[in-house]
Amino acid sequence: MGSCFSVRIKAESPLHHGADPKSGSKGGYDASGTSSTVPSTPRTEGEILQSSNLKSFSFGELKAATRNFRPDSVLGEGGFGCVYKGWIDEHSLTPARPGTGMVIAVKRLNQESFQGHQEWLTEINFLGQLYHPNLVKLIGYCLEDDHRLLVYEFMPKGSLENHLFRRASYVQPLSWNLRIKIALDAAKGLAFLHSDKAKVIYRDLKASNILLDSNYNAKLSDFGLAKDGPTGSKSHVSTRVMGTYGYAAPEYMATGHLTKKSDIYSFGVVLLEILSGRRAIDKSKPSREQNLVDWARPYLGSKRKVFQVMDARLEGQYSLKDALKAANLAVQCLSTEPRFRPKVEELVKALELLLESNDNEESRGSQSEKPRKRYRSSSNDPKNRRSTKEISAGKAASNPKPTASPLRA
């Protein structure tokens, strides 16, 4: 259960000295203080709020919907604050009695920082306009005095992060098929963002931002850091690097150059987490194993060694061939050279084939090439939870989350 008193630390640390990270962003929609090489169409706060098809809730309504933000209705806690479970009438969208109407997730920002407000606004700007089965649905928002809240569809199975890294007895490990299906759903969400229709760079792809509905359909959430994608071969040049340490692409961290391929790198990290059941960064491990990508890379292309990376809880559920294909996909996404990373459509295709291949094998009851017994099982410490944060010169900003997110079914 979250204490919900955490403070999101987002110190300004321009990559390029002398740049004013806030220039050009005040009052507009540019959440990150980035200066882009392509002109986007800035809209004022009023325009964003007016043009969205979202419900504007009063603070009182959300207070009533969440039973005064009761601590036992906390679904989880992120860098911005707590997420609460609430109920509204599905037609009038007015507060409803618990257990009746429609379940919602209410994210309450606990800090009145400029940055918090900007990310709140960016979320509304993007999710107010983008609709896709693999993007979490934003229902509305609240802007009243110092209160900033966002109201989402409720995702009953919580985040992928909870499922992969929680070792509580009530959390069943995700099967191989479900993991590949979740990766595929996430890739489809990303494909929509990268498409010409949306032209968005997500910038915050990570396991905690992949949420699961009651049937384990996965949807991307949290667009506070998203950017309108540049066209052609151009890239954004950020004055500050935003994202989450462990997931951000090396060239983006080094130079602030943001392209769709930065998202593909983050996807590779998530895929590796899915395959291994290990966190991108895990400080509880011996030093050479703390960074998942660095540790896993040498094993991923080897028939003999790939099982050392795979989650021990998946044993017997996949063939060596499929393990190698999945590992190879992760390797491609994690290429240091962005050009060598696949496009998102290629990712979708490859994951579809992987899912089909395992389905076929299961239906044939094939005994072929089952994985050998492995030597280690992964363990993860909830203390190592990371949060979206500003990344500066490869160092993680300190942004502890005192509590992990409980699962709600």
Ligand X SMILES: Nc1ncnc2c1ncn2[C@@H]1O[C@H](COP(=O)(O)OP(=O)(O)OP(=O)(O)O)[C@@H](O)[C@H]1O
Residue list for the binding site for ATP: 107
Strands (E), 31-163: 55-56, 74-77, 81-88, 102-109, 138-144, 147-153
Residues that bind ligand X (CB under 6 A): 75-80, 83, 105, 107, 136, 152, 154-155, 158-159, 161-162, 208-209, 211, 221-222, 387-388, 405
Compare residues 271 and 310 and give the one whose CB is closer to ligand X.
271
User: What is the rounded CA–CA span in Å between residue 166 and residue 289?
Assistant: 19
Stretch that binds Mg ion, among 99-107, 205-213, 334-342, 345-353 (CB under 5 A): 205-213
The two three-digit tokens of residue 316, written as one number: 């017997």
Helix (H) or strand (E) holding 243: strand 241-243
State the Cα torsion 143-147-148-150 to the nearest 10°. -90
Binding-site partner at residue 77 among Mg ion, ligand X, none, CB < 5 to 8 Å by type: ligand X
Closest distance to ligand X from the beta carbon of 178 (Å): 17
User: What is the rounded CA–CA span in Å between residue 398 and residue 400?
Assistant: 6
Q: Using an 8 Å Cβ cutoff, are 23 and 240 in contact?
A: no
State the Cα torsion 184-185-190-196 to the nearest 10°. 100
**CB-closest chain residue to ligand X:** 78
Q: Which of 405, 408, 397 is nearest to 11 (CA)?
A: 397
Binding-site partner at residue 273 among Mg ion, ligand X, none, CB < 5 to 8 Å by type: none
Compare residues 15 and 218 and give the one whose CB is closer to Mg ion.
218
Binding-site partner at residue 229 among ligand X, Mg ion, none, CB < 5 to 8 Å by type: none
Instruction: Indicate whether 6 belongs to the interface with Mg ion (CB under 5 A).
Output: no
Residue of 20, 89, 145, 204 marked active site: 204
Compare residues 9 and 237 and give the one whose CB is closer to ligand X.
9
Closest distance to ligand X from the beta carbon of 200 (Å): 17
Instruction: Indicate whether 222 belongs to the interface with Mg ion (CB under 5 A).
Output: yes
Binding-site partner at residue 266 among ligand X, Mg ion, none, CB < 5 to 8 Å by type: none
Closest distance to ligand X from the beta carbon of 307 (Å): 29
Indicate the SS3 state at residue 138: strand
> Is 89 part of the annotated catalytic residue set?
no
Binding-site partner at residue 278 among Mg ion, ligand X, none, CB < 5 to 8 Å by type: none
Locate all alpha helices (DSSP H) within 52-133, ordered by sequence: 59-65, 114-127
Instruction: Indicate whether 209 belongs to the interface with Mg ion (CB under 5 A).
Output: yes
Q: What angle do CA 367, 370, 374 make, to 5 degrees?
A: 155
* DSSP structure class, residue 398: P
Closest distance to ligand X from the beta carbon of 150 (Å): 9
The amino acid that residue 306 corresponds to is V
Helix (H) or strand (E) holding 84: strand 81-88
Compare residues 246 and 338 and give the one whose CB is closer to ligand X.
246
Say how many C-beta atoms besides its own lie within 10 A of residue 42's C-beta.
Answer: 15
Closest distance to Mg ion from the beta carbon of 67 (Å): 23
Compare residues 162 and 209 and give the one whose CB is closer to Mg ion.
209
Q: Which residues bind Mg ion (CB under 5 A)?
A: 78, 209, 222
Active site residues: 204
